[in-house]
Amino acid sequence: MTDFSTSRRSLFKGGASLLAAAATMSGDELLGYAKAWAETSQWKPEAGAKVNLLRWKRFVEAEDVAFMKIVDAFQKANNVTINVSNESYDDIQPKASVAANTGQGLDMVWGLYSLPFLFPAKCVDMSDVADYLGKKCGGWAPSGEAYGKYNGKWIGIPVAATGGLVNYRMSAAEKAGHKEFPKDLAGFADLIKGMNKNGTPAGMALGHASGDANGWLHWALWAHGGNLIDKDNKVVINSPETAKALEYVKGLYENFVPGTASWNDSSNNKAFLAGQLYLTVNGISIYVTAKTENPQMAADINHAHLPAGVDGKTRELHLGFPILVFNFSKFPQTCKAFTAFMLEPDQFNPWVQAAQGYLSPFLTGYNSNPIWTSDPKNTPYRDVAATANTPAGIGKMGEDAAAAIADFVVVDMFANYCTGREDLKTAMMTAERSAKRIFR
């Protein structure tokens, strides 16, 4: 966020030309490219393969259009069929789970968070695809490996993540005495307090919002040195560090706009765009919407990473989008080929661009995509992979950690204490017990 200004102009120029190149590679050219790719590919799609792919419903329309172009070119070049069905965020996991359990219906799922870790035994080993992409696209960020690898094998390919970063109105932050976005915990708390005093409150979800609430509350826990589990996946939530995190979040909560305990994933978007909320933690979608619907507001919006923790390091939980192939699929080669094809720079770059900052890849090569610098407000989202942790934190990602986050153990602990339903000790004990039930 600091070093780009010197070369902003040149980067922007570069971005524009690349954008133009991407735009021209539609239709026939893309098909020709796909054919050439198919000939040299190490994965040979099964003849006449019919693949059912389930993916999350798009947030940004251009992203979906770009994705379907890739699908189309792949189908034609390889003479296979890929049925793409879209489901809303909340319905992806149940559907994928049913498919995993019954062994039919879907061949591959492009889901959320740690989906492959819910049923690692049902996922095809994607190590060859991951290695191929890693070599080709500048290597995987460590967080990418953490999101994809289970017991040394890649059980899913983390396509990208939606960064959960601070969205704020610059004018409101400045009025609260923070012209520069605060870099430490105390400064951040002061900002939230100041904003509330000025009648331009902040707010972050404390309800059962799987993306928003889990994201910033895990940051708060980790920033204070707290953890749900240690390196050996032993439950260590009941700790003085957690207590500090609870106190800190309660301090923030008391200065939030009222009602955050009931918020779901869309509440902060609505309130922010309606001009009732001046700071929240979210993907870039608020800014993207504001650019078309309320340019005046968009000009006042900026993004920042959450402040560093007590040890000076920033650990955030972002919404990952892993793609997985079921081991009962009859067409694993087709699925692998498609996964590799879709992350190939020639189409992934335009696609990342089409997503307008909503998708931050885990492959470090994509950090040079012009989308991150063409608009400096996008830049914080470039570094999402660098700050990302899995829901397991310092522990080992697996079924249990995936279950803990789905069961809102950490969110409920914070909400319990902040809303005054339980005192500090009881809130930690309840969470400890819930976690022990899961990590038994």
Partner 1 sequence: MSTLQTSVTVEAPRADAPSLWSRLRVNRNWLGMWFMLPAAAFLVLFLAYPLGLGIWMSFTDERIGRPGIFIGAENYQWLWDDSIFWLSVFNTLLYTLIASAIKFAVGLYLALLLNRHMPFKALIRSIVLIPFIVPTVLSAIAFWWIYDAQFSIISWSLIRLGIIEHNINFLGDGNWARASVIFANIWRGVPFVAITLLAGLQTVSPSLYEAATLDGASNWQRFRYITYPLLTPIIAVVMTFSVLFTFTDFQLIWALTRGGPVNATHLMATLSYQRGIISGRLGEGAAIATAMIPFLLAAIAISWFGMQRRKWQQGSNND
Q: Which residues bind partner 1 (CB under 8 A)?
A: 93-94, 97, 100-101, 118-119, 121-122, 206-208, 257-264, 267, 270-271, 274, 276-277, 399, 402-404, 406-408, 412, 415-416, 419, 421, 430, 433-434, 437-438
Nearest CA to 75 out of 40, 50, 104 is that of 50
Whole-number minimum distance, CB 68 to partner 1, in Å? 27
Distances from the Cα of 157 to the Cα of 6, 259, 283, angstroms: 35, 37, 21
DSSP letters spanning 277-289: -SEEEE-THHHHH
Whole-number minimum distance, CB 421 to partner 1, in Å? 5
In the numeric block, which tokens belong to residue 116?
């492959």
Residue type at position 187: G
Whole-number minimum distance, CB 398 to partner 1, in Å? 11
Whole-number minimum distance, CB 437 to partner 1, in Å? 5
Separation between Cα atoms, residue 4 and residue 11, nearest integer Å: 9
SS3 158: strand
Taking the least distance from each CB to partner 1, the nearer of 78 and 430 is: 430
Q: How many CA atoms lie within 13 A of 22 on its CB side?
A: 22
Whole-number minimum distance, CB 258 to partner 1, in Å? 6
Q: Which helix (H) or strand (E) holds 306?
A: none
Whole-number minimum distance, CB 2 to partner 1, in Å? 34
Length of the chain: 440
- Residue 7 CB: number of other CB atoms within 10 A? 12
- State the DSSP code for 409: H
Taking the least distance from each CB to partner 1, the nearer of 371 and 418 is: 418
Q: Which long-range contacts (CB under 8 A, 24 or more apart) does 230-234 make?
A: 230/394, 230/395, 231/394, 231/395, 231/396, 232/395, 232/396, 233/392, 233/395, 233/396, 233/398, 233/400, 233/401, 233/439, 234/439
Separation between Cα atoms, residue 423 and residue 270, nearest integer Å: 31
Whole-number minimum distance, CB 275 to partner 1, in Å? 10
Taking the least distance from each CB to partner 1, the nearer of 42 and 101 is: 101
Q: Are 30 and 69 in contact (CB under 8 A)?
A: yes
In the numeric block, which tokens belong to residue 398?
């697996």
Whole-number minimum distance, CB 63 to partner 1, in Å? 25
Sign of CA dihedral 134, 359, 4, 174: negative
Whole-number minimum distance, CB 221 to partner 1, in Å? 17
Residue type at position 155: I
Whole-number minimum distance, CB 33 to partner 1, in Å? 36
In the numeric block, which tokens belong to residue 189?
């708390």
In the numeric block, which tokens belong to residue 107?
């061949």
Taking the least distance from each CB to partner 1, the nearer of 9 and 440 is: 440
Taking the least distance from each CB to partner 1, the nearer of 267 and 349 is: 267
Taking the least distance from each CB to partner 1, the nearer of 33 and 89 is: 89
Taking the least distance from each CB to partner 1, the nearer of 52 and 416 is: 416
